[in-house]
């Protein structure tokens, strides 16, 4: 089925470890983004991309890196995990940055010990 696929669904890390959250979409969407969802904070934009080779920072980019080498994939990298990065991470995509609605993946639940 077409949609946004996120892997893994769950992950536990130790402080200081690094990891990559994967996001792939098969809808040929140009725009992709990463959000984190925290209790009492709602969803906040981390990074986004308007097309292959183009990325930009969102509201809370510190501690995260992204790249967009293909239209389909938009991985999110945690360079040195911190407990404050414990959250649920959602990837979303849409045809363009101005089009709605955005399609969301099912999320990655990340715990940093």
Name which position in 24, 46, 47, 107 contacts other proteins (CB under 8 A). Answer: 107
Q: If binding is defined by CB under 8 A, does position 87 make contact with other proteins?
A: no
Q: If binding is defined by CB under 8 A, does position 95 make contact with other proteins?
A: no
* Shorter beta-carbon distance to other proteins: residue 45 or 82: 45
Residues 44-83 that bind other proteins (CB under 8 A): 44-45, 48, 58-59
Name which position in 41, 54, 79, 113 contacts other proteins (CB under 8 A). Answer: 41
Please list the residues that pair with 35 across neighbouring strands. 45, 90
Name which position in 1, 2, 14, 42 contacts other proteins (CB under 8 A). Answer: 42
* Shorter beta-carbon distance to other proteins: residue 38 or 113: 38
Q: Minimum Å distance from CB 104 to other proteins?
A: 3
* Cα–Cα distance, 80 to 89 (Å, whole number): 16
* Cα–Cα distance, 26 to 12 (Å, whole number): 28
CB 53 within 8 A of CB 68: yes
* Cα–Cα distance, 25 to 106 (Å, whole number): 12
* Cα–Cα distance, 113 to 104 (Å, whole number): 27
């Amino acid at each position: 089925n077409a949609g946004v696929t996120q892997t893994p669904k769950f992950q536990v890390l130790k402080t200081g470890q690094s990891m990559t959250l994967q996001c792939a979409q098969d809808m040929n969407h140009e725009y992709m983004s990463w959000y984190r969802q925290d209790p009492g904070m709602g969803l906040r934009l981390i990074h986004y991309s308007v097309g292959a080779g183009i990325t930009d920072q969102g509201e809370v980019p510190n501690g995260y890196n992204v790249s967009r080498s293909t239209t389909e994939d938009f991985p999110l990298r945690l360079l040195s995990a911190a407990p404050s990065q414990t959250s649920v991470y959602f990837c979303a995509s849409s045809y363009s940055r101005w089009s709605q609605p955005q399609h969301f993946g099912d999320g990655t639940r990340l715990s940093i010990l």
